[in-house]
Structure 1
Amino acid sequence: MIRKMSNFVQLKHLFIAPVLALAAVAGSAEANPADPTKVIRTAFEAADDGFDMARTQNFYSGWVSEVIFEPLVTYDYLARPAKLVPKTVEAMPEISEDGKTYTFHIKKGIYFSPDPAFKGVRRELTAEDYIYTFKRVLDPKNRSPSANFLAGKIAGLDELAAQAQKTGHFNYEAPLAGLQAPDRYTLKVVLNAKDYNFLNVVAYSAFGAMAHEVVDAYGQQTGQHPVGTGAYMMEQYVPRSKIVLVANPEFRGYTWDFKPSTDAIDKQVIKDMQGKKMPQIGRVEVSIIEENQSRWLAFQGKQIDFDKMPDTAALSVLDGDKLKPAYAEQGIQLQRVVDTGITYTVLNMKDPVIGGYSNEKIALRRAIAMAYNNREEASLLRNGQAMKLEMIIAPGVGGYDPAYRTSIDYDPVLANKLLDHFGYKRGADGYRTMPDGSPLLLKYTSNQGGIGQEMSELWKRGLDLIGIKTKFIVSNFADNLKAATSCELMMWGAAWMADYPEAENFLQLLYGPNSGHGNHGCYQSPTFDSLYVKAMALPLGAERNQIYLQMNRQFEADTAWVLNTTRIRSWLVRPWVKGFKKHPILHAEWPYIDVEKH
């Protein structure tokens, strides 16, 4: 899922989610056990883009949506590596012998949070809600960035989407061979071919059940009126400023009972949480604080309960992998984790200056990549809280090879020779022109907040060394993401966090048919695409991983991106927060933790 920094705009719209009288849920078999006096305060370093996950892949939108919408399956809170478990289903699905048919049995008595869209009637979750949700992702009018997760997979769904593309109307009532509800609580999904990652896809937040009544009621504003069956519901929403969630009174609750992994922290987590009725926390307050220093001051002032330590604070906070005494004495918990994510620079293959597949255009992109010192980003800009990225796939994800080394490294001397050879000549001002003598000007777009300015300065130093003039543009993350989705940005500093723990989730960002969805540089390589299709047909394991390595080499040959770093996160948690353990895929800990009165 895409994540980065965003802008705090002046125009704010206040939305208060309507909450129906508690009498409406008096018939619940189990009331949500959350204590309204238990409050967690946290902060995001960038803004969401609304909470209609069919229409966005914004990291922060997904963070909140995880606790509002419920997919069929999810991940165990403690298990490492990440392990799928039932969410709204009685058990993991029955899978046919040929691996193409999945049968899910949905639990009875799961209800959507109260909302006027239901006209005062309790609304139970059914199999049809998942059919509707899956269809929405392929509805052309939604232009879903997650469409590639389902495209080509479910029998009849692509044909229905193609018909909607022609007629301008998606027929949600049309029966599909691939999406069937034999009864109210049974969902049968039939695939076109065996898909070894299908359950990981189903666990993604874009496939958390939505009710058609909500979309009918709010239309284009559905993203600001999220209504799901999850543990929390929206109480207050000030776009790009504040999000307040409260316990969903319809949520059925659960008993905390997770088994330990091999992580040392699990023993204490279990001691603090075992047997508790969940969720415990009744209110979640999220502030959007883009600037690292402001967010760090908020944590130090105990205005937020946990946060990632800013890289700039590493020298004053950490002594190696431990807290310095001034912080340890406060009882602060430290959790150091390597992101299951990557940072990179998108290069637009459709751009008239840097795009294209001729030798001179590839040489230009290769020289640009060799001008960026990602080791310096890791050591200086991030104070050692990152590692140089060697491949497209993040550490901790299936298909990652720790022995792999990229063929493109920081080397401005060689970059200059490459540009000289392909006719990018220096002018009187020292800057190069295109081979035809026209001006050569790069446009690098960064996101406000964080270390965006420092990264732009690092880029400028490197590009000056090879004689390429660059214009640096600063804009907010949400706008940049929209422009990048349409392949409108020449160069853009981005990041991707794993939506599921397998390399496919990263490599699909470069798959040609995903241009205009998640492929933000519109990279289209027949060789890469054929390898992708070949890999998807293989079981997870060594043979598939070998093809992933070939895809990495092809990506390097075309120099479709510039690889930056993988970040090391230091999560700092106040002592009154119990049960906190950072998950590699899930982001919202709120339904799994507790907070003591303090």
Structure 2
Amino acid sequence: MHRKLSNLLGFKKVLIGQMLVVAAFAGSAGAATSTNPADPSKVIKMGFEAADDGFDMIRTANFYSGWVSEVIYETLLTYDYLARPAKLVPQTAEAMPEISEDGKTYTFHIKKGIYFSPDPAFKGVRRELTAEDYIYTFKRVLDPQSRSVHASFLAGKIVGLDDLAAQAQKSGHFNYDAPVAGLQAPDRYTLRVTLNAKDYNFLNIMAYSAFGAVAQEVISTYGAQSGQHPVGTGPYMLQTYVPRSKIVLVANPEYRGFTWDFKPSSDAIDKQIVKDMQGKRMPQVGRVEINIIEEEQSRWLAFQGKQIDFDKMPQLAAPTVLDGDKLKPEYAEQGIQLQRVVDAGVTYTVMNYKDPTIGGNSLDRIALRRAITMVYDNKQEVSILRNGQATKLEMFIPPGVVGYDPTYRNSVAYDPALANKLLDHFGYKRGADGYRTMPDGKPLLLKFTREQAVFYQEMSELWKRGLDKIGIRSEFIINNFADNLKAATQCKLMLWGAAWMADYPEGQNFMQLLYGPNVGQGNHGCYSSPTYDALYQKAIALPPGPERNQLYLQMNRQIEADSAVVVNTTRIRSWLARPWVKGFKKHPILHAEWQYIDVDKH
């Protein structure tokens, strides 16, 4: 009872603090010269299927945090809205960077007149974006106290930055004022980055939302609470935030705006998008309202009730809504727009390599993980759980990403009979109740962690049916996505169903999820293999092409040899948008379309 009262009082304090910050936003915004063309009466309403984890992007790899952060913070580069395949373009940079002959030095010229959204941290002064803000942002990623899940994106890459981080590790203090040879600002608007070695993915990294500029004054003001007080130069700013419930974004009055001028790709829908949007001052949408609605059925009802403007069609609705790849007449007649896209992402099952029951490199543990992998029926997941709205994955790189090989076939197939023989051979004996023990006679129990939604319950049932066939007892622990992600990052979950969407369209972005030094970051299975790591290091030193792709294939074979992860599916998304939403096109890398679309009043 005392704990509940304490939690309640703490929650009230958080809400009061958030209300005061929102009020301060409103008070300081009036002093700024408004350049954002957004119309406050144009509102987009959405539902997220899982909760964010705050918006301090150096601390989280949460997909939904990244979705929102894309419109709050701005990176040096971004992606063209319509171009397919994805094409890098400048964002805060005036143009693509100048690159030295040796490929190690990048010079960015930052646009003048870009301002952070109004915030009390700036004490009433308009705060312009400068090159030093990116230098601070990059340094912060490698500050040991940040414990950034994205440190691997920069670690070992920028001349002198790792030395500064090493000094901070020893002293307990990161000296942000210390010069770094590889991070220089020759003038207020010029950023020069020098790398230790040529990095063929560096420009993709510069477009990743974790490297959107933050202001040091903001981080100093809010500290550990910076994730609930995001301040950037993007088109929107946070107005209301009720963790794991509701997010409201409003137009950043300091945002400079842009003219919609994208060239159509070969996609059939681009012609209409250009017709609807060409020449408009952007953003048009002045308010974005997001509710966390974890259950597919509830989100679907909200869309049908016109409480959500666009969303992924729930997999459970596919038989009702779709006739093959088209809408059934009753939905087409409503003017609903349909876009079918294959995710640039993977779903997979984490198997904790450090777990005392299933982890390690001994042959009996590899055999146990192999048997677990062999009893999960991916075809059943695709046909029954996902109603055909997915395809079985053979490798850990999805379609649409450089390094994907459509001819590749996984060497570990669904085969419960063979899995039983494997367990018998390595001494996992069945007891009188039919369930197996460890080779040393201790109980064998697999603990899966999952989220609340019905889909994950159905997936648990599919897992249990497979494990029962080989006599392995299992239990399923329910928790929310944000907490599960934190626990997986800390190597605390035995098994967990995860997904990864491309941060950039290159195989390295997926293969780094199994790279040993990334344990505690994106490597949620805490997998460590000297052979795999050596292949990874060799691959990232090569330019894109057949030689690097061949190494990716070898890395996939090593994953299979170690049974490091269960590769599941890539999802086929049917995005539905109401007829009043104009200009909507789902991007393979960007997630937040709000600054590129318009809403007819309705």
Q: Is the 8 A contact 2:52 2:482 kept in 1?
A: yes
Amino acid at match of 2:307: Q
Shift in Å, 1:164: 1.0
Pick one of 558, 562, 568 that aligns with 1:558.
562
CA contact (8 A) 1:19 1:115 kept: no
1:20 and 1:115 in contact (8 A); partners too: no
2:79 to 71, 75, 78: 75
**Contact 1:290 1:450 (8 Å CA) reproduced:** no
- The 3 A distance-change label for structure 1 pair 11 and 294 is farther
Name the CA distance, whole Å, in 1 between partners of 2:36 and 2:90.
19
* Residue matched to 2:367: 363
Deviations 1:308-350 (A, max 9, x none): 0110000000000000111100000000000000000000111
TM-score of the two chains, using structure 2 as the length reference: 0.96
Greater CA deviation, 568-577 or 513-522?
A: 513-522
Among 23, 26, 30, the alignment partner of 1:19 is 26
Return the match for 2:458 from 444, 449, 454.
Answer: 454
Structure 2 equivalent of residue 3 of structure 1: none
Per-residue deviation, 1:140: 1.0
Hey, what's the Cα distance between the residues in 2 that align with 1:246 and 1:580? 19
1:142 alignment partner, one of 140, 146, 149: 146
User: Could you tell me how far apart the structure 2 residues matched to 1:337 and 1:22 are?
Assistant: 39
Aligned-residue sequence identity (percent) comes to 78
Taking the aligned partners of 1:423 and 1:406, their CA distance within structure 2 comes to 26
**2:475 paired with 1:468:** no
Match of residue 220 from structure 2: 216
What residue number does 1:339 align with?
A: 343
Taking structure 1 as reference, are residues 162 and 450 closer, same or farther at Cα in structure 2, changes over 3 Å only? farther
AA aligned to 2:31 is A
Residue aligning to 2:43: 39
Tell me the residue number matched to 2:358. 354
1:502 aligns to 2:506 (yes or no): yes
Residue matched to 1:379: 383
Superposed CA offset, 1:448-480 (max 9, x none): 225110000000000000000011111111111
> What's the CA shift string for 1:208-236, capped at 9, x where partnerless?
00000000110110000000000001111
1:531 corresponds to: 535
Q: What is the CA–CA distance in structure 2 between the aligned matches of 1:346 and 1:32, rounded to whole Å?
A: 43
1:406 corresponds to which residue?
410
- Residue 135 of structure 2: which of 111, 121, 131 is its match? 131
CA displacement at 1:25 relative to structure 2: 1.7
Give the stretch that moved more between structures: 542-551 or 160-169: 160-169
Cα deviation code 1:436-458 (max 9, x no counterpart) = 11111111111122511000000
The answer to whether 1:49 aligns with 2:60 is no
Query: How many positions carry a matched residue from both structures?
Result: 586
Structure 2 SS opposite 1:25: coil
Which SS does the other structure have where 1:48 is aligned?
Answer: coil
- 1:550, CA displacement in angstroms? 0.3
Give a deviation string over 1:275-317, Cα, whole Å, max 9, x none: 0000000111011111111110000000010000110000000
- Offset at 1:20? 3.4
SS in 2 for 1:293: helix
Unaligned runs of 5+ in 1: 1-9
Q: 2:175 aligns with which of 171, 176, 188?
A: 171
Q: Letter of the aligned partner of 2:508 in structure 1?
A: E
Alpha-carbon distance in structure 1 between the residues aligned to 2:400 and 2:573? 14
Query: CA shift at 1:24, angstroms?
Result: 2.1
Aligned position for 2:5: none
Q: 1 CA distance for matches of 2:79 and 2:167?
A: 35
Helix, strand or coil for the counterpart of 1:24?
Answer: coil
Residues 1:423 and 1:122: Cα distance change in structure 2 (over 3 Å): same
Structure 1 CA distance for aligned equivalents of residues 493 and 581 of structure 2: 41
Counting only pairs closer than 5 Å after superposition, residues 300-339 of structure 1 correspond to structure 2 as: 300-339=304-343
Q: Out of 187, 197, 215, which is 2:201 matched to? A: 197
2:170 and 2:460 mapped to 1: Cα distance?
Answer: 43
RMSD (Å) for aligned C-alpha atoms: 1.0
Letter in 1 for 2:344: T
Alpha-carbon distance, 1:49 to partner:
0.4
Superposed counterparts of 1:224-235, under 5 Å: 224-235=228-239
- SS, match of residue 220 in structure 1: helix
Residues in 1 aligned to 2:231 and 2:136: alpha-carbon distance in whole angstroms? 14
Query: Retained in 1: the 8 A contact 2:28–2:119?
Result: no
Secondary structure, counterpart of 1:275 in structure 2: coil
Is contact 1:73–1:203 with CA below 8 Å preserved after alignment? Answer: yes
Structure 2 counterpart of 1:299:
303
Name the SS for the 1:20 alignment partner: helix
Shift of 1:21: 4.2
1:273 pairs, out of 271, 277, 296, with 277
Q: Which one-letter code corresponds to 2:286 in the other structure?
A: G
Amino acid aligned to 1:385: Q
Distance in 2 (alpha carbons) for counterparts of 1:516 and 1:36: 41
SS state at 1:131 partner: helix
Q: Structure 2 regions of 5+ residues with no counterpart?
A: 1-9
- Kept after mapping to 2: 8 A contact 1:42/1:304: yes
SS in 2 for 1:451: helix
**3-state secondary structure, aligned to 1:290:** coil
Q: TM-score, normalised by structure 1?
A: 0.97
Structure 1: distance between partners of 2:214 and 2:61: 16
Contact 2:73-2:209 at 8 Å conserved across structures: yes
Find the aligned partners of 2:141 and 2:112 in 1 and give their Cα distance. Answer: 25
C-alpha distance in 1, partners of 2:471/2:445? Answer: 10
SS in 1 for 2:31: helix
Taking the aligned partners of 2:42 and 2:596, their CA distance within structure 1 comes to 13
- Find the residue that maps to 2:140 and give its secondary structure: helix
Please tell me whether the aligned partners of residues 110 and 251 of structure 1 are also in contact (alpha carbons under 8 angstroms): yes
Q: Deviations over 1:184-241 (max 9, x none)?
A: 0000000010000001011000000000000011011000000000000111111111
Q: Partner residue of 2:4?
A: none
Cα deviation, residue 163, structure 1? 1.3
Q: Which amino acid aligns with 1:478?
A: A
Structure 1 residues 463-518: Cα deviation after superposition (integer angstroms, max 9, x where no partner): 00000001111111111111100111110110000000000000000000001111
Deviation of the 1:19 alpha carbon: 2.5
Match of 1:185 among 183, 186, 189: 189
Match of 1:415 in 2: 419
Query: Corresponding residue for 1:63?
Result: 67
Residues 10-59 of structure 1 show CA distances to partners (whole Å, capped at 9, x for unaligned) of 96753243223444222x6xx11111111111110011000000111100
In 2: Cα distance, 1:445 partner to 1:164 partner: 36
Q: Which runs of 4+ in 1 moved over 4 A?
A: 10-13
Mark the CA change 1:32 to 1:450 in structure 2 (over 3 Å): closer, same or farther. farther
